[in-house]
């Protein structure tokens, strides 16, 4: 009997259905969908207007759908790097404290399941929702592009987009884990939501200013880069820019010796990945560390305050 | 020799510097309804959480049906149903869905879970509300759903933490009757914690009084009362028409009666409780008409107060 029903997946299933029915989630999805459609529409109209100048093989049209825009609406990658964290925080900020306050936490973990099932199912459930959402959004954009442009994407383009979508999920998962961590630390959902949002705001708005102030004194480009890359937003922006803009050859300053003799062409996927490798590992590590912290906190926390 | 289902030995639990449970020892036998009584903050919930392996003891061991709660919590949780004091359910789920979810966490397949959930909802009297969202339930209904939630795993032991909190008086009586019937019908061992003695005295086979993390006394209610108030006096009130001075004098001569006061047609007699039949006899012998004879027994309130005051005063 127990082989048939696996409690962990029952819990994950419940998490997913709870998220999907939640108004908070529905509103955010509507917001993301609207902005995406808006941004894609502007990009497509630009592409249409300039159709004559475009030759499909070399210009990575589909990647441009994700990165270009006129100035009315930001491009898709900016939108997602802005709204993604909000989505992650929204899915995570009351994961534990709401259940605790509702009185469902002690009831659920008094069932014959290991205690970590609870926190793991929270993570896996929300992550599944994020994956489905991000991928359906990304593929929707791709599909719209095919409908509109009429040229299928090249394999390289397609792979780049898939990898981009995977890392978007991981990036959102970082904020999800941050939200979950705060939901364990703080008893009130409002407090944990505000703290997670404060961190998000700090990194999106104030952190670059802070870096400018610090490096303004020493005026070192390297230092500025190193400091900037502490911010997960910056890491993600660089990572996605490299992935979706094959013509980018370096993320730092290049000396004249390095540029000398270089062929001004685009990089193959493998080279782009290599260029962004430190970012990939850093982002993965940040996400996993954040989950690790929330896991340990949850396992050590007393059920009762 | 009764089989003990729950055995607590020298249990100590510290929260930081605060000692919530202090060298606690007790046993609960199979099929018994045991009331763990104590004021708020006495360590009842803490003791319960360690029984379920949800909280690690600082010292001592807890065994549930022979399984160590700290090292084998899954085995303990498989046979134990727990109703927390602040029990709640997802607001946007129906009562039936909540029960099925719990059943599936216990490895019961969905089709079977739905069947037994429906049956249990009838048992606890929620069959009409089973498809309503639990957000619309009253506190009493939530509590009854909680009981069904505890029973759906077909437990051998049920632990109820403050189950009567927030229910109206009639609801409490119904709820406790339900617990007693279930325990007696299915032979389930029940541990009930409460700070309201009145309510639980009716259904508990034995009670333990927990104050400041220590078990001060244990036994059934009568034993506790006897132990405490054996030598203490009771007050007996007799409503008698045509009270005479002779009657009062006669009563005062009895060795077990210390004092007799008259208040209109009411005689207030202080003495040992064995003296009650004698009073009736005497009144009739002196041509008094006995309308009512009441005996104020030392009950739970007095027991409770005695211990709680003792707990506060002595240490």
Q: Show the 3-state SS of chain A.
A: CCCCCCHHHHHHHHHHHHHHHCHHHHHHHHHHHHHHHHHHHHHHHHHHHCHHHCCCCCCCHHHHHHHCCCCCCCCHHHHHHHHHHHHHHHHHCCCCHHHHHHCCHHHHHCCCCCCHHHHHHHHHHHHHHHHHHHHHHHHHHHHHHHHHHCCCCCHHHHHHHHHHHHHHHHHHHHHHHHHHHHHHHCCCHHHHHHHHHHHHHHHHHHHHHHHHHHHHHHCCHHHHHHHHCCCHHHHHHHHHHHHHCCCCCCCCCCCHHHHCCCCCCCCCHHHHHHHHHHHHHHHHHHHHHHHHHHHHHHHHCCCCC
> Which residues of A are less than 8 Å from B155 in CB distance?
none
Inter-chain CB proximity A10 and B87 less than 8 Å: no
Q: What is the pLDDT of residue B312?
A: 44
> Which residues of A are less than 8 Å from B82 in CB distance?
106-107, 110
Distance from CA of B84 to the nearest CA of A (A): 7
CATH for the stretch B233-296 = 3.30.70.980
Decide if A300 touches B, using CB distance below 8 A.
no
Q: A305 in a domain, yes or no?
A: no
pLDDT tens column, B271-304: 777 788 888 888 888 888 888 888 776 666 666 6
Q: Which residue has the higher pLDDT, B168 or A59?
A: B168
Inter-chain CB proximity B77 and A302 less than 8 Å: no
Question: Which of A94, A99, A110 best tests the B interface by mutation, with the highest count of B CBs <10 A?
Answer: A110
Alpha-carbon distance of A275 to A246, in angstroms, equals 11
Domain boundaries, chain B: 4-93+138-227, 233-296
Decide if A45 touches B, using CB distance below 8 A.
no
Q: Which of B229, B159, B230, B241 is nearest to B194 (CA)?
A: B159
Inter-chain CB proximity A104 and B15 less than 8 Å: no
Question: Which of B107, B149, B155, B156 best tests the A interface by mutation, with the highest count of A CBs <10 A?
Answer: B107
Question: Which of B67, B89, B104 best tests the A interface by mutation, with the highest count of A CBs <10 A?
Answer: B104
pLDDT tens column, A202-249: 998 898 888 888 887 766 777 788 888 888 988 998 898 888 888 777
Decide if A257 touches B, using CB distance below 8 A.
no
Distance from CA of A109 to the nearest CA of B (A): 8
Inter-chain CB proximity A107 and B105 less than 8 Å: no
Q: Which of A234, A197, A207, A249 is nearest to A87 (CA)?
A: A197
Q: What is the pLDDT of residue B229?
A: 66
- Point out which residues pair with B61 in neighbouring strands: B9
DSSP per-residue codes, B79-94: HEEEE-TT----TTSB
Whole-number average pLDDT of chain B: 86
- Point out which residues pair with B193 in neighbouring strands: B36, B161
pLDDT tens column, A242-258: 888 887 777 766 666 66
Distance from CA of A110 to the nearest CA of B (A): 6
Inter-chain CB proximity B107 and A108 less than 8 Å: no
Q: A283 in a domain, yes or no?
A: yes
pLDDT tier at A74 (50, 70, 90 boundaries)? confident
Decide if A220 touches B, using CB distance below 8 A.
no
Count structural domains, chain A.
1
Q: Chains A, B: CB contacts under 8 A, how many?
A: 84
Nearest to B107 among A2, A110, A114 (CB): A2
pLDDT tens column, A258-303: 667 666 677 788 888 888 888 999 999 999 999 999 999 999 888 8
Decide if A187 touches B, using CB distance below 8 A.
no
Inter-chain CB proximity A304 and B45 less than 8 Å: yes
Q: What is the pLDDT of residue B315?
A: 35
Q: A2 in a domain, yes or no?
A: no
Inter-chain CB proximity A10 and B101 less than 8 Å: yes
> Which residues of B are less than 8 Å from A10 in CB distance?
101, 104-105
- Contact residues, B window 135-164, toward A, CB-based 8 Å cutoff: 146, 149, 153
Q: A260 in a domain, yes or no?
A: no
- Between the CA atoms of B229, B218, B47 and B144, what dihedral angle is there, to the nearest 10 degrees? -80
pLDDT tier at B110 (50, 70, 90 boundaries)? very high
Nearest to B54 among A1, A5, A106 (CB): A106
Where does residue B29 fall: left (phi above 0), alpha (psi -120 to 50 degrees), or beta otherwise? beta
Q: A259 in a domain, yes or no?
A: no
Distance from CA of B218 to the nearest CA of A (A): 26
Inter-chain CB proximity A112 and B105 less than 8 Å: yes
Q: Which of A22-31, A39-48, B96-105 has the lowest mean pLDDT?
A: A39-48
Inter-chain CB proximity B105 and A102 less than 8 Å: no
Select the highest-mean-pLDDT range: A103-107, A123-127, B85-89, B174-178: A123-127
> With 70 as the cut, is the pLDDT of residue B141 above it?
yes
- Contact residues, B window 107-126, toward A, CB-based 8 Å cutoff: 107-110
> With 70 as the cut, is the pLDDT of residue B233 above it?
no
Inter-chain CB proximity A103 and B101 less than 8 Å: no
User: ipTM of this model?
Assistant: 0.85
> Which residues of A are less than 8 Å from B108 in CB distance?
1, 5
User: Residue A136: how many CB atoms within 10 A of its CB?
Assistant: 14
- Pick B4-93+138-227's CATH classification: 2.60.110.10, 1.25.40.10, 1.10.3720.10, 3.40.50.300: 3.40.50.300
Decide if A1 touches B, using CB distance below 8 A.
yes
Inter-chain CB proximity A108 and B74 less than 8 Å: no
Q: A258 in a domain, yes or no?
A: no
- Contact residues, B window 1-40, toward A, CB-based 8 Å cutoff: 15
Q: Which residue has the higher pLDDT, A296 or A103?
A: A296
Q: Which of A82-86, B118-122, B296-300 has the lowest mean pLDDT?
A: B296-300
pLDDT tier at B58 (50, 70, 90 boundaries)? very high
Q: What is the pLDDT of residue B1?
A: 62
Alpha-carbon distance of B213 to B125, in angstroms, equals 36
Q: Which residue segment(s) compose the domain that A150 sits in?
A: 7-252+266-300
- Measured at the alpha carbon of residue A260, what is the angle toward residues A259 and A262, in degrees to the nearest 5? 70
pLDDT tier at B37 (50, 70, 90 boundaries)? confident
- Point out which residues pair with B21 in neighbouring strands: B13
The pLDDT > 70 percentage for chain A reads: 91
- Among chain A residues, the shortest Cα distance to B151 is held by A111
Q: What is the pLDDT of residue B103?
A: 95
3-state SS, residue B136? helix
pLDDT tens column, B6-30: 999 999 999 888 899 999 999 999 9
Inter-chain CB proximity B78 and A10 less than 8 Å: no
Alpha-carbon distance of B46 to A303, in angstroms, equals 10
Q: Which of A205, A179, A203, A181 is nearest to A193 (CA)?
A: A179
pLDDT tier at B189 (50, 70, 90 boundaries)? very high
Alpha-carbon distance of B101 to B110, in angstroms, equals 8
Cα distances (angstroms) measured from residue B279 to each of A41, A187, B274, B288, B296: 100, 62, 10, 11, 14
> With 50 as the cut, is the pLDDT of residue B174 above it?
yes
pLDDT tier at B188 (50, 70, 90 boundaries)? very high
Q: Is B277 exposed, middle or buried (0-12, 13-18, 19+ CB in 10 A)?
A: exposed
């Amino acid at each position: 009997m127990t082989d048939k029903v696996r409690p962990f997946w029952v819990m994950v299933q419940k998490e997913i259905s709870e998220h999907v029915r939640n108004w908070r989630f529905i509103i955010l999805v509507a917001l993301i969908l609207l902005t995406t459609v808006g941004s894609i529409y502007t990009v497509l109209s630009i592409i249409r207007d300039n159709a004559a100048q475009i030759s499909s093989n070399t210009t990575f049209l589909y990647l441009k759908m994700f990165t270009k825009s006129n100035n009315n609406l930001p491009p898709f990658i900016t939108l997602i790097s802005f709204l993604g964290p909000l989505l992650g925080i929204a899915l995570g900020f009351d994961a534990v404290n709401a259940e605790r306050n509702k009185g469902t936490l002690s009831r659920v973990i008094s069932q014959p399941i290991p205690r970590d099932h609870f926190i793991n199912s929270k993570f896996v459930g929300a992550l599944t929702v994020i994956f489905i959402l991000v991928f359906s959004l990304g593929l929707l954009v791709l599909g719209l592009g095919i409908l509109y442009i009429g040229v299928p994407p090249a394999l390289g383009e397609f792979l780049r987009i898939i990898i981009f979508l995977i890392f978007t999920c991981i990036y959102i998962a970082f904020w999800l884990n941050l939200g979950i961590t705060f939901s364990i630390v703080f008893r009130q959902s409002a407090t944990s939501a505000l703290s997670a949002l404060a961190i998000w705001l700090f990194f999106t708005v104030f952190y670059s200013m802070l870096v400018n102030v610090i490096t303004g004194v020493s005026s070192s480009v390297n230092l500025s880069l190193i400091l900037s890359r502490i911010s997960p937003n910056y890491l993600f922006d660089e990572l996605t820019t490299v992935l979706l803009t094959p013509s980018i050859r370096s993320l730092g300053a290049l000396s004249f010796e390095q540029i000398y003799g270089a062929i001004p062409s685009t990089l193959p996927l493998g080279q782009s990945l290599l260029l962004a490798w430190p970012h990939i590992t850093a982002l993965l590590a940040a996400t996993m560390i954040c989950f690790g912290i929330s896991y340990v906190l949850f396992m050590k926390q007393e059920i009762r305050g | 020799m009764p089989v003990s289902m729950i055995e607590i030995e020298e249990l100590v639990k510290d929260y930081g510097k605060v000692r919530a449970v202090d060298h606690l020892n007790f046993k609960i036998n199979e099929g018994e309804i045991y009331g763990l009584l104590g004021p708020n903050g006495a360590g009842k919930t803490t003791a319960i959480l360690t029984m379920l392996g949800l909280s690690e003891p600082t010292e001592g061991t807890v065994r549930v049906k022979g399984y160590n709660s700290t090292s084998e919590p899954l085995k303990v949780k498989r046979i134990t149903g727990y109703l927390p004091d602040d029990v709640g359910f997802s607001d946007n789920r129906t009562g039936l869905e909540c029960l099925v979810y719990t059943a599936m966490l216990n490895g019961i397949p969905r089709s079977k879970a739905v069947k037994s959930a429906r049956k249990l909802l009838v048992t606890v009297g929620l069959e009409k509300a089973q498809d309503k969202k639990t957000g619309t339930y009253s506190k009493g209904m939530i509590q009854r759903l909680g009981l069904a939630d505890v029973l759906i795993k077909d437990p051998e032991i049920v632990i109820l933490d403050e189950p009567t909190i927030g229910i109206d008086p009639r609801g409490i009586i119904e709820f406790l009757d339900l617990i007693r019937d279930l325990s007696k019908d299915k032979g389930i061992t029940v541990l009930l914690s409460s700070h309201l003695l009145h309510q639980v005295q009716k259904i508990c086979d034995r009670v333990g009084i927990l104050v400041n993390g220590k078990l001060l006394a244990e036994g059934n209610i009568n034993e506790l009362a006897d132990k405490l108030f054996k030598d203490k006096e009771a007050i007996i009130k007799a409503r008698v028409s045509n009270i005479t001075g002779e009657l009062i004098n006669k009563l005062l001569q009895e060795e077990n009666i210390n004092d007799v006061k008259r208040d209109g047609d009411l005689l207030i007699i202080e003495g040992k409780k064995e003296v009650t039949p004698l009073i009736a006899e005497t009144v009739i012998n002196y041509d008094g008409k006995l309308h009512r004879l009441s005996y104020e027994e030392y009950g739970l309130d007095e027991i409770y107060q005695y211990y709680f005051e003792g707990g506060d005063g002595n240490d």
